[in-house]
């Protein structure tokens, strides 16, 4: 109906306005609802709280200066771990570790004490969190190698809030600007010295590349006359970001590659979540206020719909199965659980109960509702949770369509509401309760074979930052079938405690066979059978064997029935962090104006896991299902190669609610840890002070042996929050162009230019594009601002399937000479003539190493002058003829320009012949 459509549109608008970094708001000029969380591994130290506050006060002043007296930090919440007990901390409300914008944790193997920000990709998109270590916060001898803490934090805040990137490049520290060697930096006005890091001699040039040799380092002057840029080196006297006028568009850094050569200020004002924000007068004080809070015992209330519509099909049975798994396996000891059911009114089935053993869990399972009937008032169930709900979590499940009028109560309660809609007719407005309280939203399909409800309840693990206490879902799969249902799951060396196999069936129990990798065989007799709930459970004693476990289910009936298998486990020990997977969409709602991105992050305590097989399944409430291979190849939807973040575009947008499920496998043993770092503050090699280089110690190395070790076979299954698509009425599904090429690379091989890139698709990174348009210029700004007027390269190349490597080699004799710098860019086109955005702009410079000058005795002298003029004329003439010929047939330039090249060739030949 029109009313329901307008309500759904309102919900989508709310999501768009809220942004993806949970909680952060811009109130006037000040940022509020910033959450900084301390990991439980960090020892309690009141000085750490003081240092956090001092850092934010300093950062607020730097931020105000960097944004031209516009923005500052206003309100900050500090979440301390549950195991801290020496301070007088307030009770946390909706603040939990998983929602933190800044995390303070012990250093990981990859980054050490370097401050960094986890960014998933697109320019202008918010990051996930900033990571700081206790040593960086407390030890001045550590922090001084990065610069003042407040300015370092502003550098990271720009990554987090505005989706900009570093302006330095440790892999390409130098580049050629014409014939001049420049350090990769922004602005170009940053001054300093080029010095050999070993002996402080002036740098020498590599004759092949024309750049300084690898042992050369650019040491900037600590005191600069220029004011930018913080995103290059936050330790200098600079105090601003690069503007459109001061930005160095030539530097081969990530900011230019991913942001279309835009400066940081241009991204903030035109692409970021704060683009278009009105400037208001700055208050007299810009010092933030702080609250220090603590999550205590976990309190969860299950608020369950038992109205008449829940009696349809197997909904009540599915609800009981999923809630039983949650109570028996997911909720940790010492948590409190309560159960409320509602129809038009609400009833408490079980008050808050402390989980202190199997008896308490069994009691709660026994209190789950069994039957359904009556009307629906969703808010009646929420209100029954009562007062004193600060810090509590509510898991609300409904399949109904009642009105929602309790938003204000939820907002004021201090509780977090996680909402689950079951079936295609449930009211999506219930999602608003999650949006305003910071909860999760999921939509579940009916049926045992979907396993949706089980997955959703399994995802509600504790979130205090201690990964070793979380239940991890390894496998979740279901089928409607006759006969055998076979599969396998890998137990890796990071998990194995409290491993459980759960089988759910529709009508009659199947025969079950589970084979461990080496020694054990488990059959149906080893499973605990709950006939009313139609489940069979196998709990593995001790630590499960490492390796591949195989399972088989036999449906003994003559007709098909639905069966599912769910496998969960926990960390093998408190000392070994498990391999974890998280997944989410780039947006929680869409109107079809742009494609959505699917992300999956695979890591072990911040260290990326690469070369895994990652498959996403997206399912709509109408039954449509899409499978996407997520890639970590640094192309298409994926911003960085080998950073453990796997990505893909989702372009099949039709109106509806969608669920997201990701399975990660490493059955072939190819997965490895990665050395790829995320965006972070530059470790400063040293400064120039009063004309003298003051060097810092080398950056602590990363052990490649540890990171390149085999991860081992592993399996993970996770779900992300559900999302919705609402296309305008009467508008067909969108048709998207090919994705932007972001990994274009150019090299010169003798007299040829070699371009390489990853093929885009017909629709973003799906399918196969139709054609490429490749252009070059001696002016990089021309390619960015007026691509179609640059020189066109002709080629004979049919685009490959999206994700495939592309290679194109061609000759430019008439253009490329020694010392010539050319810039290249490309676009892809689909069959509807839609073109991608202009690719990253790549430069290449022709360098001919100088030949040693021969002595008079090195060659015979046949002319009396020591020079063979005839030989030179013939040689040069031949080369010139070949050059002219190739130039005329291999490159298509504007006709006037082409004729001028031919005239030059004829003139050159005439002069040489006259000689």
- H or E segment and range at residue 142: helix 140-143
Determine contact, residues 55/143, Cβ cutoff 8 Å. Answer: no
β 715-725/589-590 pair status: parallel
Q: Is the peptide bond before 837 cis (omega within 30 degrees of 0)?
A: no
| End-to-end CA separation in angstroms for the chain | 89
Selection from 11, 3, 39, 35 nearest residue 21 by Cα: 35
Strand partners, 766: 763
126 is annotated as an active-site residue: no
d(CA 426, CA 194): 65
Nearest residue to 831 via CA among 876, 900, 767, 743: 767
List of residues 6+ apart from 531 with CB closer than 8 A: 509
Query: In sequence order, what DSSP letters do the residues of 330-389 get, joined into one string?
Result: ISPTT-EEEEEEESSSEEEEEEEEE--SHHHHHHHHHTS-----S---HHHHHHTT-S--
**Cα separation of 384 and 402, whole Å?**
16
Burial of 708 (0-12, 13-18, 19+ CB in 10 A): exposed
Please give the Cα distance from 668 to 490 (Å, whole number). Answer: 11
Please tell me the distance from the alpha carbon of residue 694 to that of residue 686, in angstroms, as a whole number. 5
CB 188 within 8 A of CB 232: no
User: Rounded to whole angstroms, how far apart are CA atoms 699 and 196?
Assistant: 16
Q: Would you state the torsion angle of the CA atoms of residues 899, 902, 907, 912, taken in this order, to the nearest 10 degrees?
A: 180
> Taking a C-beta distance cutoff of 8 angstroms, is the pair 548, 490 a contact?
yes
Q: Return d(Cα 71, Cα 280) in angstroms, integer.
A: 10
Annotated catalytic residue within 58, 126, 156, 240: 156
Please choose, from the candidates 100, 51, 35, the residue with its C-alpha nearest in 3D space to the C-alpha of residue 292: 35
The pair of three-digit structure tokens given for residue 674, joined into one six-digit string: 């990665």
| Residues carrying an active site annotation | 156
């Amino acid at each position: 109906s029109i009313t329901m459509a307008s309500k759904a549109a309102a919900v989508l608008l709310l999501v768009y306005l809220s942004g993806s970094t949970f909680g952060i708001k811009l109130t006037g000029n000040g940022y509020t609802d910033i959450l900084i969380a301390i990991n439980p591994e960090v020892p309690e130290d009141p000085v750490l709280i003081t240092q956090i506050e001092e850092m934010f006060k300093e950062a607020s002043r730097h931020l105000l200066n960097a944004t031209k007296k516009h923005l500052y930090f206003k309100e900050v919440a500090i979440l301390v771990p549950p195991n801290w007990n020496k301070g007088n901390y307030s009770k946390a409300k909706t603040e939990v570790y998983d929602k933190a914008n800044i995390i303070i944790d012990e250093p990981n193997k990859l980054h050490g004490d370097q401050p960094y920000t986890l960014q998933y990709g697109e320019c202008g998109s918010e990051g996930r969190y900033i990571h700081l270590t206790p040593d960086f916060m407390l030890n001045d001898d550590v922090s001084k190698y990065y610069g003042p803490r407040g300015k370092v934090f502003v550098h990271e805040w720009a990554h987090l809030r505005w989706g900009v990137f570093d302006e330095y490049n440790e892999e390409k520290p130098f580049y050629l600007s014409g014939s001049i060697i420049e350090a990769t930096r922004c602005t170009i006005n940053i001054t300093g010295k080029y010095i050999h890091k070993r002996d402080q001699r002036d740098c020498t040039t590599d004759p092949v590349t024309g750049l300084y040799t690898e042992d050369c380092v650019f040491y900037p002057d600590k005191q600069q006359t220029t004011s930018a840029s913080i995103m290059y080196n936050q330790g200098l006297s600079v105090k601003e970001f690069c503007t459109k006028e001061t930005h160095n568009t030539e530097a081969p850094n990530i900011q230019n590659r991913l942001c279309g050569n835009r400066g940081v200020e241009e991204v903030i004002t035109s692409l970021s979540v704060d683009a278009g924000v009105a400037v208001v007068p700055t208050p007299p004080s810009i010092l933030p206020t702080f609250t220090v809070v603590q999550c205590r015992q976990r309190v969860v209330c299950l608020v369950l719909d038992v109205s008449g519509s829940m009696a349809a099909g197997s909904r009540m049975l599915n609800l009981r199965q999923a809630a039983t798994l949650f109570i028996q396996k997911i909720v940790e000891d010492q948590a409190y659980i309560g159960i409320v059911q509602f129809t038009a009114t609400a009833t408490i089935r079980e008050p808050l109960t402390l989980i202190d053993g199997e008896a308490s869990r069994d009691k709660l399972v026994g209190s789950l509702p069994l039957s359904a009937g009556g009307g629906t008032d969703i808010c009646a169930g929420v209100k029954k949770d009562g007062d004193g709900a600060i810090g509590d979590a509510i898991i609300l499940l409904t399949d109904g369509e009642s009105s929602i009028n309790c938003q204000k109560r939820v907002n004021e309660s201090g509780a977090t509401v996680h909402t689950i809609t079951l079936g295609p007719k449930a009211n999506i407005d219930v999602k608003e309760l999650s949006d305003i309280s910071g909860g999760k939203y999921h939509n579940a399909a009916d049926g045992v074979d979907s396993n949706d409800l089980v997955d959703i309840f399994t995802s509600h693990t504790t979130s205090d930052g201690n990964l070793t206490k979380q239940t991890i879902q390894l496998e979740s799969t279901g089928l409607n079938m006759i006969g055998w249902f076979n599969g396998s799951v890998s137990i890796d060396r990071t998990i194995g405690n409290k491993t459980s196999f759960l089988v759910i069936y529709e009508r009659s129990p199947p025969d079950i066979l589970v084979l461990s990798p080496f020694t054990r065989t488990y059959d149906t007799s080893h499973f605990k059978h709950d006939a009313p709930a139609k489940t069979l459970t196998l709990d593995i004693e001790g630590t499960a064997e490492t390796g591949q476990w195989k399972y088989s289910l036999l449906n003994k009936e003559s007709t098909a029935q639905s069966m599912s298998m769910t496998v969960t486990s926990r960390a093998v020990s408190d000392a070994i962090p498990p391999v974890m997977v998280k997944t989410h969409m780039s947006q929680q709602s869409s109107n079809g104006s742009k494609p959505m991105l699917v992300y999956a992050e695979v890591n072990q305590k911040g260290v990326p896991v690469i070369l895994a097989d990652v498959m996403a399944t997206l399912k709509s409430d109408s039954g449509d299902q899409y499978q996407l291979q997520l890639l970590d190849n640094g192309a298409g939807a994926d911003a960085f190669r080998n950073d453990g973040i796997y990505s893909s575009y989702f372009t099949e947008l039709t109106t509806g609610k969608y669920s997201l499920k990701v399975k990660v496998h490493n059955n072939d043993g190819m997965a490895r840890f990665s050395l790829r770092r995320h965006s972070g503050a530059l470790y400063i090699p040293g400064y120039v002070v009063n004309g003298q280089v003051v060097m810092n110690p080398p950056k602590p190395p990363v052990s490649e042996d540890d990171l390149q070790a085999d991860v081992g076979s592993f399996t993970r299954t996770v779900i992300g929050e559900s999302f919705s698509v609402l296309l305008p009425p009467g508008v067909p599904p969108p048709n998207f162009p090919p994705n932007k090429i972001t990994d274009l690379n150019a090299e010169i091989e003798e007299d040829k230019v070699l371009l390489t890139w990853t093929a885009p698709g017909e629709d973003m990174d799906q399918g196969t594009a139709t054609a490429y348009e490749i252009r070059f210029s001696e002016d990089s700004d021309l390619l960015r601002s007026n691509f179609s007027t640059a020189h066109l390269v002709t080629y004979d190349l049919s685009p490959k399937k999206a994700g495939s490597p592309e290679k194109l080699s061609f000759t430019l004799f008439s253009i490329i000479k020694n010392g010539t710098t050319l810039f290249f860019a490309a676009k892809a086109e689909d069959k509807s003539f839609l073109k991608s955005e202009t690719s990253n702009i790549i430069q290449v410079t022709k360098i001919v190493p100088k030949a040693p000058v021969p002595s008079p005795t090195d060659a015979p002298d046949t002319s009396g002058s020591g020079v063979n003029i005839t030989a030179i004329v013939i040689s040069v003439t031949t080369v010139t003829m070949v050059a002219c010929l190739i130039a005329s047939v291999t490159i298509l330039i504007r006709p006037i320009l082409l004729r001028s090249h031919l005239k030059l060739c004829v003139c050159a030949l005439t002069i040489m012949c006259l000689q």
